Amino acid sequence: MITMHPSFEMLRPGKKFPTVWCPGCGHGIVQGAIIRAVQKLGIPRDQMVMVSGIGCSSRMPVYVDFNSLHTAHGRAIAFATGVKLHNPKLHVIVITGDGDALAIGGNHFIHAARRNVELTVILLNNNIYGMTGGQYSPTTPIGKRASTAPYGTAERDFDPCALAVAAGAVFAARGTVFGVVELEKMIQQALAKRGFALVEALSPCPTLYGRLNREGNAVKMIQWQKENTINAKAAAKLPPEKTAGKIITGVFHDAEVTPYTEVYQGIIDKAQGQKQ
Amino acid sequence: MSADIRLLQGNEACAEGAIYAGCDFFGGYPITPSTEVAEEMARLLPRHGGKFIQMEDEIAGIATMLGAGAAGAKAMTATSGPGFSLMMELLGYGCMAEIPAVIVNVQRAGPSTGLPTKGAQADMMQARWGTHGDHPAIALCPSSVAESFSLTVKSFNLAERFRMPVQLMLDEFIGHLREKVTIPAPGELEVYTHPRPSVAPGEYRHFGDGTSVGGAYAAMGTGYRFNITGLTHDPMGFPTGRTDEIRWKMDRLRAKTDDHLPELVDVEREFLDDAEVVLFAYGGGARTAQEAVRLARARGIKAGLLRPRIVWPFPDQTVADALAKAKAMLVVELNQGQLIGEVRRVNQGGTKVVPVLRYDGEIITPDELMTAVEANR
């Protein structure tokens, strides 16, 4: 018997498939994790808004049957702030990439975290500008090659989770497409959070980052994630030499702070109390 | 109930007008000489249950405004030259995504930082062509504090009806001018809010109602799920590369203004019936032009004033008609000559078109204008 894939009801039918993503790209795996997380939490699609910027990952809103807003490069979080503040009942997910969120959109990223606007920010980190052909991004590790770094980059990379926590985010976690079960749980936690919540999803780009840095095909790049990531809890028990050079995954920060729209409602109440 | 009479600045009247029009969202960034608009909105909006947010820069200001607009708000931002330049990319986004909103630009003298506390009308072509790509533009210029109120209301009405960002091009002179204003009673001025769709959600097409003007469109979270993108898209809002769909979208945008020119003409005419010397003036620059026309009439000169309140789309026919009857048209601008290019474009006959310009941060005086009137009578 043929049964419908459980994620199918959340996808938009018709001419939008196949996706723009290359074979072996990790973004579809992240999309699947997001859909399952939303389904498990039982959030009605009509209340879901997916806002994105520009780049490979930012094409996701077209495929998912939510209210969707594909904005301009770097500005997704600023648009999403307007959506959420205008209608706090809406559940707002921001889909963004390493270039979109941390270079052109870096200012909006830190300020939304500082305000603690209730946004679930899924940052699909592939360490490269994919859409434009493989230029280096704020998360390209120093020395790695890109089309604009033919001899390797001279720049240090951002840690998006540390940046978000420093700026005031109430939740920050890093997962991988290799560890998609764990990633889905992180997204579920982030969606349930009231405040600015970041999930950084490490998503390989075999077409550009992988090719330019001779990392092998998609399977090898996902294998690399398995071998080079350590969960934060496990890492805490290991001596430093065992964790050197590894990427730490897991939930780094989970705090309770009154969210922005709730604080603003207090301002409305105060202003209306003073009204003659 | 006695009339609500107040002494207000143009910027304050703009904020009061926004509230009157039902504005329920403001996102912006402080910049002289527009700041009073934001300050007033910060005070007034929460009282009316609306939301005010001061963002991290002007790009974020217009972005959050457009996000709120897409979600269903009557949204607004206010800025001045440097901030207006920063907003240009997303002005085009608002046109492409067909999001109603009002952008207030209290013009100051540029370029660059220029003269932050002094007025100008030097962003007029930027309002028309500042963002990349072909797009429609609607821009209004108030010449008094009372008009700052009424044209703000009108800007919201036009934004709702034409489903696009409308630009209220104030200038520092009117923004900081204090005058007596009678705040209209509720219902006295028209307030237009676009209709919401009544079709079944499965049949709803966010950009496919057959018309780009006066149609129904949905807010987020009301059962009509739709996609909005800055990419060229089909009637469902999904990106397209098909030439027929691209042409459909571009023609749809162009039709907003091109197919509705009569309702987008808003021109004040003073003494035009027998005028031989016509002053073309707008915004702050029109205040002294009004005085100059009265002075000229007192001296027996047949002078008249043509003052567009809506400058984009440009009132071609109205200006052409005035040019046909006049000996000379003096184009009064607080810049180095911007809308004069439009006047020359529509000047089909042999009418003399004379620039009367000032761009040193001060308003042009009636005496300066009279010298030009005398020289061209």
The answer to whether residues B42 and B168 belong to one domain is yes
Query: What is the CATH classification number for the domain harbouring B356?
Result: 3.40.50.920
The encoded tokens of residue A82 equal 């307007």
Count up the domains in chain B and report the number. 2
Is pLDDT at B291 greater than 90 in this prediction? yes
Contacts of A85 in chain B (CB under 8 A): 25, 51, 53, 64, 68
Topology of domain A8-271, per CATH? Rossmann fold (3.40.50)
Q: Find residues 52-71 of chain B whose CB sits inside 8 Å of chain A.
A: 53, 55-57, 59-60, 63-71
Is pLDDT at B269 greater than 70 in this prediction? yes
Residue B349 is assigned to a structural domain of this protein: yes
Query: What is the CATH classification number for the domain harbouring B18?
Result: 3.40.50.970
CA–CA separation, A107 and A138 (whole Å)? 13
Whether residue B46 lies within 8 A of chain A, CB to CB, comes out as: yes
Q: What residue type is A268 in one-letter code?
A: I
Is pLDDT at B209 greater than 80 in this prediction? no
CA–CA separation, A78 and A180 (whole Å)? 28
Q: Which residues have a Cβ under 8 Å from the Cβ of A260 and sit 6 or more positions away? A: A84, A85, A115, A116, A117, A118, A195
CB-closest option in B49, B57, B227 to A61: B227
What end-to-end distance do the CA atoms of chain B give, in Å? 49
Residue B200 is assigned to a structural domain of this protein: no
The answer to whether residues B281 and B140 belong to one domain is no
Contacts of B57 in chain A (CB under 8 A): 107
The answer to whether residues B86 and B179 belong to one domain is yes
* Interface test mutation site (partner B, options A12, A17, A67, A263, max chain B beta carbons within 10 A): A67
Q: Do B67 and A61 touch (CB under 8 A)?
A: no
Helix (H) or strand (E) holding B165: strand B165-171
SS3 B238: coil
Whether residue A155 lies within 8 A of chain B, CB to CB, comes out as: no
Residue B235 is assigned to a structural domain of this protein: no
Nearest to A173 by CA among A198, A194, A204: A198
Residue indicated by tokens 């809890």:
A233
For residue B196, the model assigns a pLDDT of 95
The answer to whether residues B11 and B122 belong to one domain is yes
For residue B69, the model assigns a pLDDT of 98
- The more confident residue out of A60 and B2 is A60
Under 8 Å between Cβ of A128 and A137: yes
* Interface test mutation site (partner B, options A15, A19, A49, A69, max chain B beta carbons within 10 A): A69
Contacts of A53 in chain B (CB under 8 A): none
The answer to whether residues B136 and B27 belong to one domain is yes
Q: Find residues 111-140 of chain A whose CB sits inside 8 Å of chain B.
A: 111
Residue indicated by tokens 């052109």:
A104
Give me the total of CB pairs closer than 8 Å, taking one residue from chain A and one from chain B: 137
For residue B2, the model assigns a pLDDT of 80
Q: Is the pTM of this model over 0.90?
A: yes
Segment B122-163, tens digit of pLDDT: 999 999 999 999 999 999 999 999 999 999 999 999 999 999
Q: What residue ranges do the domains of chain A occupy?
A: 8-271
* Chain A nearest C-alpha distance from B260 (Å): 28
Q: Residues B213-230: what's their mean pLDDT?
A: 95
CA–CA separation, B229 and B302 (whole Å)? 53
User: Other CB atoms closer than 10 Å to residue B136's CB: what's the count?
Assistant: 21
Query: Of B183, B204, B233, which one is at a domain's C-terminal end?
Result: B183
The DSSP symbol for B326 reads -
| Minimum Cα–Cα distance from B67: chain A residue | A79
* Chain A nearest C-alpha distance from B28 (Å): 11
Whether residue A20 lies within 8 A of chain B, CB to CB, comes out as: no
Q: Residues A119-146: what's their mean pLDDT?
A: 98
> Is the peptide bond between B111 and the residue preceding it cis, with omega within 30 degrees of 0?
yes
Nearest to B91 by CA among B52, B56, B46, B123: B123
For residue A275, the model assigns a pLDDT of 57
What value of ipTM does the predicted structure carry? 0.97
Domain that holds residue B163: 4-183
Under 8 Å between Cβ of B4 and B16: no
Query: Of B155, B183, B211, which one is at a domain's C-terminal end?
Result: B183
Q: Do A78 and B223 touch (CB under 8 A)?
A: no
The answer to whether residues B28 and B177 belong to one domain is yes
Nearest to B107 by CA among B319, B333, B342, B355: B333
Is pLDDT at A276 greater than 60 in this prediction? no
* Chain B nearest C-alpha distance from A16 (Å): 8
Whether residue B228 lies within 8 A of chain A, CB to CB, comes out as: yes
Residue B153 is assigned to a structural domain of this protein: yes
CA–CA separation, A266 and A272 (whole Å)? 10
Residue indicated by tokens 């909103």:
B101
Whether residue A78 lies within 8 A of chain B, CB to CB, comes out as: yes
User: Other CB atoms closer than 10 Å to residue B95's CB: what's the count?
Assistant: 22
| Integer angstrom CA distances of residue B369 from B272, B281, B289, B333 | 17, 11, 7, 11
Give strand pairing partners of B106. Answer: B170
Helix (H) or strand (E) holding B95: helix B88-97
Under 8 Å between Cβ of A173 and A202: no
Whether residue B241 lies within 8 A of chain A, CB to CB, comes out as: no
To the nearest whole number, what is the mean pLDDT of chain B? Answer: 97
Residue B204 is assigned to a structural domain of this protein: no
- The more confident residue out of A1 and B54 is B54
The answer to whether residues B31 and B177 belong to one domain is yes
Segment B165-176, tens digit of pLDDT: 999 999 999 999
Query: Of B159, B183, B207, which one is at a domain's C-terminal end?
Result: B183
SS3 B128: helix
The encoded tokens of residue A267 equal 């301002």
Residue B227 is assigned to a structural domain of this protein: no
